[in-house]
Structure 1
């Protein structure tokens, strides 16, 4: 098994902290815009009870060692602004998935998601020794698919009728991946994008 999988990952825009109950209040406040949950398996903004259930499910998966959930924290205000996870952990094959990612809309297009991806990918490839990191999203989620393509992650195809989602609907999932051979290019691209965002904000 991997050691230090649930580490604090420090960036200049965000820091990723292993999810804990102390994050619940701040995350619930950050999660109120229903656009966040449009493509998620559940809508955790519906009530405090529903959000608590989402949090407990994430903590249980982390405790069981099947996933590692993080709170995405604004590095300036130290307030929780979203969450993300490692899941589909396959240490024997040196692979994992990044998913369950969401951010409060105020932090969209700020570099928060770009830096969070950089931190998670860097940890996966350079510390855990992964050779493959994968992502999946609803095939209709054009924003997520564009963000994955911009990493750039390689589009691998559509899993048809892959998951049963809210309302009894069958979802087709679009799969993407980054492998270790591609990581240097991806790291350089993400670094350039973060630098460009900082320069724009400094104007």
Structure 2
């Protein structure tokens, strides 16, 4: 009897502006170059890799992928072929078909452009229409107001706040804001996201 394939399997998702392709070890230097646009690792409430943390960042991404709970992507600008960021389907609950979109960051020049909208449209379409997800979560630091606003603009609803949820590198604790989109909400969210890309 053949083994059941993992719920999350590597896939390339291509849009008009960007392509999400499986993260590869060879992307290391290109990711660092993208993160240097805005020195994104200096934002204390994010987990953007720096030269000091890139190897641990990639090791974690590949370990979670191999465990079947994460699908890490490299974000590529279609017009230039340049790597402009990274994102993941992560923390998958395989039994209940729930997954989170996280670890998302883009070079500063791509922020507040069509990049994020199309990335989220591609990931949500894959989760709901190809993986039959019942819910897709988004989580962010309480202090990351830009991220919270961007998630709300996608059409996600805030579920609550997990207080003292994760230990931070500085020894403090992060309060995590949890948002979600449910499968029955997806058609209207998809229509709204698609209209923003016209």
- TM, length-normalised to structure 2: 0.91
In 2, the alpha carbon distance for the partners of 1:139 and 1:99 equals 15
Unpaired segments ≥5 residues, structure 2 = none
Deviation at 1:52, TM superposition (A): 2.3
Match of 2:15 among 11, 14, 29: 11
Greater than 6 Å deviation, 4+ residue runs? none
Quick one: structure 1 residues 64 and 76, their matched pair in 2 at CA, closer, same or farther if it must change by over 3 Å?
Answer: same
Match of 1:40 in 2: 46
Q: Could you tell me how far 1:3 is from its partner in structure 2?
A: 5.0
Name which of 14, 24, 28 aligns with 1:24.
Answer: 28
So what's the TM-score if we normalise by structure 1? 0.89
Q: Distance in 2 between matches of 1:8 and 1:104?
A: 20
Shift of 1:76: 1.2
Q: Structure 1 residues 3, 140: CA separation in 2 closer, same or farther (over 3 Å shift)?
A: closer
Counterpart of 1:180 (choices 162, 179, 183) is 183
Which residue matches 2:86? Answer: 83
Gaps of 5+ in 1: 196-203
Q: 2:7, 2:94 within 8 Å by CA — same for their partners in 1?
A: no
The one-character-per-residue Cα deviations of 1:73-106 (angstroms, maximum 9, x if unpaired) are 1111111110001111112101111100000001
- Aligned-residue RMSD, C-alpha: 1.5
Summarize the Cα distance change of 1:51–1:96 in structure 2 as closer, same or farther, 3 Å threshold. Answer: same
Instruction: Please give the alpha-carbon distance, in whole angstroms, between the structure 2 residues aligned to 1:36 and 1:186.
Output: 31
Q: Deviations over 1:8-61 (max 9, x none)?
A: 0000110000100121121110012333552224x522x2x4212212221222
Q: How does 1:30-109 map to 2 (within 5 A)?
A: 30-32=34-36, 33-35=38-40, 38=43, 39-41=45-47, 44-45=49-50, 47=51, 49-109=52-112
For residues 111 and 95 of structure 1, the distance between their equivalents in structure 2, rounded to whole angstroms, comes to: 26
1:162–1:3 distance in 2 versus 1, CA, 3 Å? closer
- What per-residue deviation string (whole Å, max 9, x for no partner) do you get for residues 92-140 of structure 1? 1011111000000011122101100000000000000011000110111
3-state SS of 1:31 partner: helix
Q: Any idea what SS the aligned residue of 1:29 has?
A: helix
Per mean C-alpha deviation after superposition, the further-off stretch among 57-66 and 76-85 is 57-66
